[in-house]
Structure 1
Amino acid sequence: MTLPNAQLKTELPAGREPTLRVMPSPADVNYTGDIFGGWIMSQVDIAGGILAIRRAGGRAATVAVNSFAFKQPVFVGDIVSLYAQILRVGRTSVTVEVEVYAQRYFSEHEIVKVTEATLTYVAVDDERRPRPVPAMSSESMPRASVPA
């Protein structure tokens, strides 16, 4: 379902850096001229995997695509920004949410949310068997602000 143009305009997430930023090329289009959904899915998996690997402290494998919603098409020339955040850390798994935005044809003003997804990765060892995700060290834990 395509929304009226007035409802498409949005902004990139404030205060966050994209995990990945890419631009699709003509080789990435389907027969109707839109970017293949599979190309977008691949970019989402890469962005989610970057966070999962960092949090797992090494190799991690995609084990589930929990949800995936295509909201708007992506076109050749769009600047595609993928924002990932960790939702949950289990004993061997990391669940990541990825939001995808397209900046249309180099326009600074037309930005649309095109996809959102949730994926689960499992930390694996050198033999590709599940391994525990390390506990966060005190240095890497977010610090609470304490009033003076």
Structure 2
Amino acid sequence: MDIPCDKMPALRVRALPISTDAYGRVQAGWLMNQIDLAGSLVAERESCGPVALVAVNAFQFSLPILLGDVVNLYVEKLRVGQKSITLKITVSSERMSGETVFITEVIVTFVAVDLQGKSRLLGETSAGIP
């Protein structure tokens, strides 16, 4: 699992004290939130409107994310269906020392939804969605 060095991350965020445990390591729930944000940015653009995260494969941490690290989330489209989009999200962390390390990789699926939360076709717009 390589860190994409030739691509721009969809999201970059610093690990702050509020996201860490008492030992200075980022909690998994914080990272899951960042994965949801990075993936939804790409999925919303592809679907032309709101999306809902419906599936996440199991993911394992190769190394912890530490307080002060800059976390990079790279998003790659794997599959675009009629109503859903499946993405691979690769997470790396830039340490305070300047070293970049691989953290994890997950496969996520988003479904395009309308204002009532019902699935819709990708690219189809609903009233009230810009």
Which band: TM-score by shorter chain? 0.7 to 0.9
SS at match of 2:71: strand
Q: Where do residues 76-95 of structure 1 align in structure 2 (5 Å cutoff)?
A: 76-95=67-86
Percent of residue pairs bearing the same amino acid type:
40
SS at match of 2:21: coil
2:120 maps to 131
**8 Å contact 1:64–1:119 — kept in the other structure?**
yes
Which of the residues 3, 13, 23 maps onto 1:32? 23
Which of the residues 103, 114, 117 maps onto 1:114? 103
Q: How far off its partner does 1:37 sit?
A: 0.8
* 1:61-111 alpha-carbon deviations (Å, 9 max, x no partner): 001112322111001111111101111111110111100111101x33x11
Q: How far off its partner does 1:32 sit?
A: 3.1
**8 Å contact 1:99–1:115 — kept in the other structure?**
yes
Unaligned runs of 5+ in 2: 125-130
| TM-score, structure 2 normalization | 0.88
The separation in 2 between residues aligned to 1:42 and 1:73, in whole angstroms, is 16
SS at match of 1:34: coil
Unaligned runs of 5+ in 1: 1-10, 136-148
Largest Rg, 1 or 2: 1
| TM-score, structure 1 normalization | 0.78
**RMSD of the alignment, in Å?**
1.8
Q: Which amino acid aligns with 1:36?
A: Q
SS at match of 1:70: coil
